[in-house]
Chains A and B, each alone.
Chain A
Amino acid sequence: MADEQKSDGRERLREPAEVRYREELEALAQADDQERPENWRLSPRSVLTYVVGGVTVEAKVGGRKRAVPITTKFYGDRSIVERAIVTLASERALLLLGDPGTGKSWLSEHLAAAISGNSTLTIQGTAGTTEEQVKYSWNIARVIAEGPTPANLIPAPTMVAMRSGGLLRFEEITRCVPDVQDALVSILSDKAIAVPELPDANMVWARPGFNVIATANTRDQGVNELSAALKRRFNYIHIPVVDEAKTEVQIVQQRSAELLERYRLPMEVPPRIAELIATVFREIRDGQSAEGVSLKQPSTTLSTAEAIGVAVEATLRATFFGKKKLGGGDIARNIVGSIVKEDLTDLGALREYATLVAKKRAVKDPDWDAFYRGLQEVVPGK
């Protein structure tokens, strides 16, 4: 469990959400006077408050009473979170669907942390994921010595979640082959896993509270699409790319600040640079600049997560190799890798943006000027 992992005393690069936001969760649990579904740590309304944030809760933390601010974890449409929470309290499982970088896993982790206090019961779906990794496997040496017994069974995260009445996170479910996906059908309808090797204890039943949050990438749709039987057992919630400029700037700022803190970098992304990054991503993604200029759209998904990545990498670069002050030029030098991935013709999109948009703004704005000159270095015109 996450709490136990923390107790080994070693420093971690990344803590799970329930550890990072322990104070907030604790404060919400204390203040929570609403009814909770069985085995939920918080009521649905408190889970919602934890995810959308923006309020302060009075609670006794570390032996003294104080106001704990609840930070915003998800900036998109609030109804997405409401629908997700309700789904997890219902009979159906939840599938979060969206383009890469739209925050599916981020939301899934926070929901699991708030609802069951454990976001680490996770299966990462790949083409090589097997049914054993979904259900259970055996300690082969002991099975050879003792035969199959409950003690020799190695439960997969699904089984752990079922036994504890917790949430299973199944990442990138559509990367798994159909046979593996279908292993979930009986788990979701019968709420049980059969273990035929154990004649005396051949069923593992889920406790109340058990449910599944899966994620799927819209770019993978059609690769291993879910069977009709499995689709029926999931509620799909589509997470769109953030469509409001102001919100995207906020996300870039907050998430890059968190990541930089993790690297213990004393720098921050200044608001005007966060705005520049978000603007560049938005305009290239939409194929149109604020001035109404039509732009080429690259083949890559320019998600907010990519924008955050650019902000953080540019800061690292400025810290270790630059002037220790993040500017438009640093952004330009780091943006190429986000926009040009598989298809070299995407360089054209960036080149076009530099000429048609950045160059015009450079005349009036020093950040755009630095950005334009940076782009000229890395993507020179023909």
Chain B
Amino acid sequence: MSALPLPELHEAPVREAVERVLSDELHWFPVRHHSPRVARHLEAAIRERKPRVVFVEGPSEATDLVRFVVHPRTRPPVALYSSFRDDHDVLGLSDGAGPGERVPARLAAWYPLLAYSPEYVAMKTASAIGAEVELIDLPHAALVRRLPAGAEDAPPAPPPDPEAALVESRFYQGLAEAAGFRSWDQAWDSLFEFGDAVRDRETFRRELATFCAAARATAAPERLAADGTRERERFMWRAIRAGLERRGLRPAQAMVVCGGFHLFLDREDQTPPPDIPAGTWLTSVVPYSFFRVSELSGYGAGNRAPQFYQSVWELGEGGDLDELLARHVVATLKRARRAGEMVSSADAISVAQHARMLAALRQRGTPILDDVHDALFTCCCKGSPERHGGPLREAIDATDIGSRIGAVTPELGRLPLVADFHEQLVRLELGEVIDQEKRITVRIDRREGDGRSRSAFLHRLAFLKVPLVELFEAGGAGPTGGTLFKEVWRLLWSPEVEPTLVECALYGDTIETASLARLREQLAQHADQAGLTAQRLREALEMDLPTLVDEAERACRAAVATDPRFVSLATGLRHIQVLRRQLVYQQVRRERFDDLVEQCFDRACFALGEAANAPDAEQEHIVEALRVVAETLLGDESGALDRDVLVQHVRGAADASQVPFLRGAFLGMLAELRVASPEDTSSALAAWAREPPERMVAAGEFLDGMLAASRTSLLLGADHLVNAVDDLLAAADHDAFLVMLPRLRSAFGRLHERQRQTLADRVAQRHGLKEPEQLTRLSTSVAAGVLLARLDERAGRILSEWGF
């Protein structure tokens, strides 16, 4: 096999660089996040070297929290959480929504720690031997590039992937191609996590350092400049030197635990690190979960199989990895069986054997996760993995990832907002949800006792997206109706609650102030959208934030006056209608919004013309919006809404529409408004039967639109409708019918069972059924039934000719 085509990679300088770092008095230990083997070697190294201080690559602003991380009552997975609010807009990222509406930029970062994360093990071990720990990484907000004036619209760069530079290096790419590695995880596991050649600690340290040196020598310089590597390293190196000096220690009395790439930072670089921006910084330790740390939840520095590597960690050096893999396979297949897959113990044996043989073919001493996954799909998926492998894939993911949730020692004080949350829960007698991991149902009547306070609190949590509450039945507008004053909430604790609250702390110190700030931010962001500002207005009332109601009302009035979009205006109308009903107990005059409803109604009618030829993706929304506008009119008791305006614009839209579905909907709406008779509307449907075949096939869409907008009125003239559909089907040949069929199904699917039954009776009567009792259930296919009926008819005719 030819050598890697890397002319720029010279062995001597790489070896020299490695030698220089490894022989340094200061002991550098290269790590990879969430690696059991690194963690094991590192633990042994710290215990053996007994340093006085350990510098760990982690957020320097959170060094004070290390004592809570290593506390005996803290149980990983946990995360160091760091957030920054740019109060003075030093980064130039604030939302430029308008004068006086500046929303400060908020940035947050998470540093997950698992039981086998080398950083966590370094903290624990240092604590066990009485060494200090100092986190040395640059605070994350300092990496955000300051935007030049006039560039407000440029989004901030996404957080850097800590391993991207290494993976993109020409050394790694060449190695992966030559060795057939399909991913960096696979390469890591093959070379370092399970590689037999690196069982010895010093060999491991040297091999990993050499690997990283070669990757760094062939990494694109612009990548290192762009992802903040150099800025971070300047900061880290200064932090290490300052840390030693402050403590009066020699380098030999310290250790550095950092990514292998940073071993080769430029110690001569005189450029100062970036300034840490002034603003509000919050740090905390929060419970974390295996799911969040897995790649599936989308966080950087993830781990593809937290539970699997947890098992590897618990197994210890020298444990029987073969047996662990066998147990992992059995657990995966057990899950797959529960999901309905037909897999047996024989399959488990085949998978284990296949994984071992694959590992041997791929020149690995022991199977790794990739071999096991390949073996599982080869032996257990009887078809295409994309089409038939879903349940198996889910079982693999669930077993690999696990469901472990961490806990943080209660000795860690709470942020004011988190404390407020807990206080309110107790005050409103909702505290039981915290103590148990089961769903509780809370029924609230907003007229009684503290019902209003409880409702407002829960609405605020829902608005802040705290994953604790779910509104099951809302007062007068919920998914299942409910009454005006009563609400049903479902509460379930999850590990996501605390981190979400910590994120909310950037908006304020209490749930109320955070809700206010976020609502104000959203008002500024959606100032031109009638639907969304009306929703905010409604939320301000539901969350009992009277100080914001006036502000939201002004924003809503402005948006209604300018928003040209029909769907948005109709959505606004719906929200305003709901909030008018709720005003009864909100001590706000109901009449206050009458003119807003009228204005919104009129504007929606005038906007209808623009919607007449909307693209496919918007059509359902338009019909739904049309129904909202019509229902508002039909429910108007004051007589202030002008029926003629709506009729005129619906008629205009029907004439202008070239889209069969929408045209059907507009004509259906005219029937619903009683300005067109069901007979007229059905005639428009029947007219499609006279169209050439290529146009006739659109009749299904037309009918779909009709029934989407009007059901009751059209069914009043069910006979006309049945006749029109019958004419249409008689005119259509088989192919045209097949094309129409999906939309015909969709159209009739919109009707209630009883309405369908009524139509079916009319069809049967039109085709000769005299009494409904004559109906019998078909035990054959429809085609066979039709054939039998024809034969029966012919037999009857022959018999009658014979005089029977």
Number of interface residues, chain A, beta carbon within 8 A: 29
Report B-chain residues with C-beta under 8 Å of the C-beta of A237. 378
Query: Do B350 and A236 touch across chains, with their CB atoms under 8 A apart?
Result: no
Q: In the complex, what residue of chain B is closest to A82 when comparing beta carbons?
A: B361
**One of A86-94, A149-157, A372-380 at the interface:** A86-94
Report B-chain residues with C-beta under 8 Å of the C-beta of A245. none
Query: Do A236 and B382 touch across chains, with their CB atoms under 8 A apart?
Result: yes
Separation in Å of the A105 CB from the closest CB of chain B? Answer: 18
Query: Do A83 and B374 touch across chains, with their CB atoms under 8 A apart?
Result: yes
Which of B1, B182, B354, B363 counts the most A-chain CB atoms under 10 A from its CB?
A: B354
Please judge, given known A-B contacts A55-B1, A78-B180, A232-B346, whether A87 and B354 are in contact too, CB under 8 Å.
yes
Interface residues of A in 218-265 (CB under 8 A from B): 218, 221, 226, 228, 231-232, 234-238, 240
Query: Do A79 and B346 touch across chains, with their CB atoms under 8 A apart?
Result: no
Question: Is there a chain A Cβ closer than 8 Å to B362's Cβ?
Answer: yes
29 interchain pairs (CB within 8 A)? A44-B361, A45-B361, A48-B361, A55-B1, A78-B180, A79-B374, A82-B358, A83-B358, A83-B378, A86-B361, A87-B378, A90-B350, A90-B353, A90-B354, A97-B384, A218-B383, A218-B384, A221-B383, A226-B382, A228-B342, A231-B382, A232-B344, A232-B347, A234-B382, A235-B379, A236-B382, A237-B378, A238-B381, A240-B384
Complexed CA–CA distance, A237 and B383 (Å): 7
Query: Do A86 and B357 touch across chains, with their CB atoms under 8 A apart?
Result: yes
Query: Do B350 and A92 touch across chains, with their CB atoms under 8 A apart?
Result: yes
Question: Is there a chain B Cβ closer than 8 Å to A85's Cβ?
Answer: yes
Separation in Å of the A222 CB from the closest CB of chain B? Answer: 11
Report A-chain residues with C-beta under 8 Å of the C-beta of B1. 55
Separation in Å of the A117 CB from the closest CB of chain B? Answer: 20
Complexed CA–CA distance, A83 and B344 (Å): 20
Which of A85, A87, A231 counts the most B-chain CB atoms under 10 A from its CB?
A: A87
Separation in Å of the A228 CB from the closest CB of chain B? Answer: 7
Given contacts A87-B378, A91-B350, A221-B383, 11 further A-B contacts (CB under 8 A): A44-B361, A79-B182, A82-B362, A85-B361, A86-B358, A90-B350, A91-B353, A98-B384, A226-B382, A231-B382, A232-B344
Interface residues of B in 291-347 (CB under 8 A from A): 342, 344, 346-347
Question: Is there a chain A Cβ closer than 8 Å to B431's Cβ?
Answer: no
Question: Is there a chain A Cβ closer than 8 Å to B156's Cβ?
Answer: no
Question: Is there a chain A Cβ closer than 8 Å to B416's Cβ?
Answer: no
Q: In the complex, what residue of chain B is closest to A89 when comparing beta carbons?
A: B357
Question: Is there a chain A Cβ closer than 8 Å to B221's Cβ?
Answer: no
Query: Do A238 and B379 touch across chains, with their CB atoms under 8 A apart?
Result: no
Q: In the complex, what residue of chain A is closest to B346 when comparing beta carbons?
A: A232
Question: Is there a chain A Cβ closer than 8 Å to B174's Cβ?
Answer: no
Report B-chain residues with C-beta under 8 Å of the C-beta of A235. 350, 354, 378-379
Residues of A whose CB lies within 8 Å of any CB of B are: 44-45, 48, 55, 78-79, 82-83, 85-87, 89-92, 97-98, 218, 221, 226, 228, 231-232, 234-238, 240
Question: Is there a chain A Cβ closer than 8 Å to B385's Cβ?
Answer: yes
Interface string of B359-379 (1 = CB under 8 A from A): 011110000000000110011
Report A-chain residues with C-beta under 8 Å of the C-beta of B375. 83
Report A-chain residues with C-beta under 8 Å of the C-beta of B347. 232
Report B-chain residues with C-beta under 8 Å of the C-beta of A228. 342
Separation in Å of the A232 CB from the closest CB of chain B? Answer: 7
Report B-chain residues with C-beta under 8 Å of the C-beta of A79. 182, 374
Complexed CA–CA distance, A55 and B177 (Å): 13
Report B-chain residues with C-beta under 8 Å of the C-beta of A218. 383-384
Q: In the complex, what residue of chain A is closest to B379 when comparing beta carbons?
A: A235
Query: Do B354 and A238 touch across chains, with their CB atoms under 8 A apart?
Result: no
Separation in Å of the A381 CB from the closest CB of chain B? Answer: 15
Report B-chain residues with C-beta under 8 Å of the C-beta of A82. 358, 361-362, 374
Complexed CA–CA distance, A1 and B728 (Å): 66
Which of B350, B362, B382 counts the most A-chain CB atoms under 10 A from its CB?
A: B382
Complexed CA–CA distance, A221 and B353 (Å): 28
Complexed CA–CA distance, A78 and B186 (Å): 14
Complexed CA–CA distance, A83 and B385 (Å): 14
Separation in Å of the A93 CB from the closest CB of chain B? Answer: 12
Complexed CA–CA distance, A218 and B385 (Å): 12
Please judge, given known A-B contacts A90-B353, A228-B342, whether A236 and B361 are in contact too, CB under 8 Å.
no
Report A-chain residues with C-beta under 8 Å of the C-beta of B350. 90-92, 235
Separation in Å of the A299 CB from the closest CB of chain B? Answer: 14
Closest 5 CB pairs of A and B: A238-B384, A86-B357, A83-B378, A235-B378, A236-B382
Please judge, given known A-B contacts A44-B361, A48-B361, A83-B358, whether A236 and B342 are in contact too, CB under 8 Å.
no
Q: In the complex, what residue of chain A is closest to B349 when comparing beta carbons?
A: A91
Query: Do B361 and A90 touch across chains, with their CB atoms under 8 A apart?
Result: no
Interface string of B372-411 (1 = CB under 8 A from A): 0011001101111110000000000000000000000000
Q: Which of B357, B363, B383, B386 contacts A90 (CB 8 A)?
A: B357
Complexed CA–CA distance, A153 and B238 (Å): 87
Q: In the complex, what residue of chain B is closest to A91 when comparing beta carbons?
A: B350
Interface string of B746-767 (1 = CB under 8 A from A): 0000000000000000000000
Complexed CA–CA distance, A283 and B583 (Å): 57
Query: Do B342 and A86 touch across chains, with their CB atoms under 8 A apart?
Result: no
Report B-chain residues with C-beta under 8 Å of the C-beta of A221. 383
Complexed CA–CA distance, A238 and B378 (Å): 9
Report B-chain residues with C-beta under 8 Å of the C-beta of A240. 384, 386
Separation in Å of the B502 CB from the closest CB of chain A? Answer: 41
Query: Do B383 and A236 touch across chains, with their CB atoms under 8 A apart?
Result: yes
Complexed CA–CA distance, A89 and B383 (Å): 21
Report B-chain residues with C-beta under 8 Å of the C-beta of A44. 357, 360-361
Q: In the complex, what residue of chain B is closest to A48 when comparing beta carbons?
A: B361
Which of B1, B182, B350, B383 counts the most A-chain CB atoms under 10 A from its CB?
A: B383
Separation in Å of the B29 CB from the closest CB of chain A? Answer: 34
Q: In the complex, what residue of chain A is closest to B384 when comparing beta carbons?
A: A238
Interface residues of B in 682-732 (CB under 8 A from A): none
Q: In the complex, what residue of chain B is closest to A44 when comparing beta carbons?
A: B361
Complexed CA–CA distance, A221 and B344 (Å): 23
Complexed CA–CA distance, A237 and B344 (Å): 19
Interface string of B212-240 (1 = CB under 8 A from A): 00000000000000000000000000000
Complexed CA–CA distance, A87 and B363 (Å): 17
Q: In the complex, what residue of chain A is closest to B342 when comparing beta carbons?
A: A228
Q: In the complex, what residue of chain A is closest to B373 when comparing beta carbons?
A: A79
Report B-chain residues with C-beta under 8 Å of the C-beta of A234. 382
Report A-chain residues with C-beta under 8 Å of the C-beta of B384. 97-98, 218, 238, 240
Q: In the complex, what residue of chain A is closest to B350 when comparing beta carbons?
A: A92
Interface string of B1-35 (1 = CB under 8 A from A): 10000000000000000000000000000000000
Q: Which of A45, A85, A92 contacts B379 (CB 8 A)?
A: A92
Q: In the complex, what residue of chain A is closest to B389 when comparing beta carbons?
A: A238
Separation in Å of the A48 CB from the closest CB of chain B? Answer: 7
Interface string of B253-283 (1 = CB under 8 A from A): 0000000000000000000000000000000
Interface residues of B in 524-557 (CB under 8 A from A): none
Query: Do B383 and A238 touch across chains, with their CB atoms under 8 A apart?
Result: yes
Query: Do B354 and A86 touch across chains, with their CB atoms under 8 A apart?
Result: yes
Complexed CA–CA distance, A48 and B363 (Å): 12
Report A-chain residues with C-beta under 8 Å of the C-beta of B344. 232
Report A-chain residues with C-beta under 8 Å of the C-beta of B386. 240
Q: In the complex, what residue of chain B is closest to A238 when comparing beta carbons?
A: B384
Query: Do B378 and A236 touch across chains, with their CB atoms under 8 A apart?
Result: yes
Q: In the complex, what residue of chain A is closest to B381 when comparing beta carbons?
A: A236
Report B-chain residues with C-beta under 8 Å of the C-beta of A98. 384
Complexed CA–CA distance, A89 and B361 (Å): 11
Q: Which of A55, A78, A92, A97 contacts B383 (CB 8 A)?
A: A97
Report B-chain residues with C-beta under 8 Å of the C-beta of A92. 350, 379
Separation in Å of the A45 CB from the closest CB of chain B? Answer: 6
Separation in Å of the B73 CB from the closest CB of chain A? Answer: 45
Report A-chain residues with C-beta under 8 Å of the C-beta of B358. 82-83, 86
Q: In the complex, what residue of chain B is closest to A226 when comparing beta carbons?
A: B382
Complexed CA–CA distance, A45 and B381 (Å): 25
Q: In the complex, what residue of chain B is closest to A87 when comparing beta carbons?
A: B378
Report B-chain residues with C-beta under 8 Å of the C-beta of A89. 357
Q: In the complex, what residue of chain B is closest to A85 when comparing beta carbons?
A: B361
Complexed CA–CA distance, A86 and B359 (Å): 10
